[in-house]
Amino acid sequence: MDESDSDPGSYPIPPASVHLSSLTPPPSARLLLSRHVTRRTRPLQSSPPLAYLSLQGLLGEASSARSIGGGGLSREEALAWELFTPYQRFLIVAVIGVAAAESKKNGVIAQLQNSVDLRPRMADEVILLDFWPSPFGVRARIALREKGVEFEYREENLREKSPLLLQMNPVHKKIPVLIHNGKPVCESMNVVQYIDEVWSDKNPLLPSDPYQRAQARFWVDFIDTKVYEPADKIWSTKGEVQEKAKKEYIEALKILESELGNKPYFGGDNFGFIDIAMTGYYMWFEASEKCGNFSIEPECPTLMASAKRCLQRDSVVNSVPEPEKIVEFAFKIRKIYCV
Amino acid sequence: MADEVILLDYWASPFGMRARIALREKGVKFECREENLRDKSPLLLQMNPVNKKIPVLIHNGKPVCESMNVVQYIDEVWSGKNSIFPSDPYQRAQARFWIDFIDTKVYEPADKIWSTTGEVQETAKKDFIEALKILEAELGDKPYFGGDNFGFVDIAMTGYYSWFEPFEKCANFSIESECPTLMASAKRCLQRESVVNSIPNPDELFALALKLRKEYGV
């Protein structure tokens, strides 16, 4: 199954549209100290008025006010400047200086913020190191497609792991590994949660309520212990060990079925975190039944109905291999393990 | 409205300690109810029917189970103070990755160190130290796994830090000589107020370990 074809579910990345030039303060900022400015033509007797003051006229003696900044002050401005005492001029200059620095700092901060905000709108490089029949890898594929994220799928040979895999997951050396702009995220449900947080604008996978989120995490932990351990034995053992595994597997599925209740998905009306976790096992249901010679549907009919619903979703259809291929793979592995 | 927060717990549990520490980091008032793990209360069985384990946080009557799940819930609900989890998605993914590592690669050998002898115990010691060294490399020269701040991964490890001394006595080895930087961070964590108020005396833990070893005929 070729995962790297362009996906009809993906959307084009919009162009960067932030104009940074609007954030650059103009070279000669005219700072208005007050909205109420009266241009005067004669000296005042009362306390000095607030006035327009050009930054070009920041410093200088009153007598040379007209010549400040290369003659930057107009006649009226020079006159206004002369109305202030030297101490008042000092204060004005200090206040304007601080305000200018603040404005420049805010301008720089805004520029930096925009450059950071710009990143998700720029083309992301998303690579998924994966293995086609993996129930864990498929979770990452589904999550990326749910979010419409364009990604490059790279198939790993698990008997000869690539240098990139060993470099990106040195601790476990396992797939899936999501490499997002060069940075690796490992462990399938960790990857799914990361995808949900980064591409948060579409199809939320986790609920927003803290209690519901805790419930979702609890059930995923249950799935990856109480379903995973017997499932693994069903595929890779026989005889009494396999019989015991089948029993534990069905027990775990029944617990999940009662949690599902009559909801279409574990996520309620929406396909979510727990459903994605289970879909990795749903795609292995047929192979499990054939390896273990049993039927899941009569034991867990409601769960099976939800499974079928999940397996029909676009993101899932485009991510899971055909069941026959998984069955074939399972039997090939069993033969290798002399089962 | 006053929150009702109950923690079903067991004094010696490294997992229970994590929940206690998180609640105290946030300054949340809670009622700690000690469970007898050999005679579990009806409330525990009702609130955690799937795993029947502690800790269980019962917040206004609703249960949250699994220790790091409880810690994350506490961080999200009482989000105003002492953030435990980073806000950046990549840092959060890293924190979750290391929690998963701790609760598999540290937990499994740790459990064998205090409860076995001979070759099984020797292998467990080796695996335990190997895992701690990987964590130490991740810690680097940061004071905490959370960087400058005590965070999610530190809380997870503190449950084990409290058991370091009993492990060393049970299996006759020294963790500090193998992992000095990790040990320095451990000491830093063990001195935090929320931790001091949440963990038992190492001598009491060692006494418990010896008692259980005797019972199991180890």
Tokens, residue B100 = 């998963």
What is the secondary structure of B109-159 as a DSSP string? HHHHHTT--HHHHHHHHHHHHHHHHHHHHHHTT-SBTTBTS--HHHHHHHH
Q: Establish if A229 touches chain B: CB-CB under 8 angstroms.
A: no
Subunit contact B64:A183, Cβ cutoff 8 A: no
Subunit contact A171:B93, Cβ cutoff 8 A: no
CB burial of residue B106 (10 Å; 0-12, 13-18, 19+): buried
CA atoms A189, A192, A193, A194: torsion sign: positive
Amino acid at site A251: E
CA dist list (Å): A180 to A153, A272, B81: 12, 22, 31
Position B86 confidence tier, pLDDT thresholds 50, 70, 90:
very high
Q: What is the pLDDT of residue A60?
A: 42
Residues of B in contact with A185 (CB under 8 A): 90, 93, 97
Q: Establish if B134 touches chain A: CB-CB under 8 angstroms.
A: yes
Q: Establish if B66 touches chain A: CB-CB under 8 angstroms.
A: yes
Mean pLDDT of B33-51: 96
Subunit contact B89:A211, Cβ cutoff 8 A: no
Fold topology of A209-339? Glutathione S-transferase Yfyf (Class Pi); Chain A, domain 2 (1.20.1050)
In Å, how far is A208's CA from the nearest CA of chain B? 10
A268-299 pLDDT, tens digit per residue, is 999 999 999 999 999 999 999 999 999 999 99
Position A106 confidence tier, pLDDT thresholds 50, 70, 90:
confident
Smallest CA-to-CA distance from B3 within B25, B37, B26 is with B26
Fold topology of A124-205? Glutaredoxin (3.40.30)
Percent of chain A, pLDDT > 70? 74
Q: What is the pLDDT of residue B179?
A: 97
A200-255 pLDDT, tens digit per residue, is 999 999 999 999 999 999 999 999 999 999 999 999 999 999 999 999 999 999 99
Which ranges constitute the DSSP H helices of B55-106? Answer: 67-77, 89-101
CB burial of residue A145 (10 Å; 0-12, 13-18, 19+): buried
Amino acid at site B85: F
State residue B54 phi and psi, 5-degree precision. -100, 160
Residues of B in contact with A221 (CB under 8 A): 66, 69
Mean pLDDT of B10-27: 97
Domain with CATH 1.20.1050.10 in chain A: 209-339
Position A111 confidence tier, pLDDT thresholds 50, 70, 90:
low
A41-92 pLDDT, tens digit per residue, is 555 455 544 444 444 444 444 444 455 444 556 777 777 777 778 888 888 7
State residue A165 phi and psi, 5-degree precision. -65, -45
In Å, how far is A184's CA from the nearest CA of chain B? 9
Residue A11 has pLDDT above 80, yes or no: no
How many whole angstroms separate alpha carbon B13 and alpha carbon B162? 10
Q: What is the pLDDT of residue B96?
A: 96
Q: Indicate whether this complex's ipTM tops 0.90.
A: yes
Domain with CATH 3.40.30.10 in chain A: 124-205
Q: Do the Cβ atoms of A237 and A292 come closer than 8 Å?
A: no
Q: What is the pLDDT of residue A72?
A: 57
B155-195 pLDDT, tens digit per residue, is 999 999 999 999 999 999 999 999 999 999 999 999 999 99
How many residue pairs from chains A and B have C-beta atoms closer than 8 A?
53
Q: Establish if B100 touches chain A: CB-CB under 8 angstroms.
A: yes
Residue B207 has pLDDT above 60, yes or no: yes
How many whole angstroms separate alpha carbon B19 and alpha carbon A131? 37
Candidate ranges A1-15, A17-31, B62-76; pick with highest mean pLDDT: B62-76
Residues of B in contact with A194 (CB under 8 A): 89-90, 92-93
Subunit contact B96:A190, Cβ cutoff 8 A: yes
Q: Establish if B2 touches chain A: CB-CB under 8 angstroms.
A: no
State residue A30 phi and psi, 5-degree precision. -95, 115
Residue of chain B whose alpha carbon sits nearest to that of A195: B89
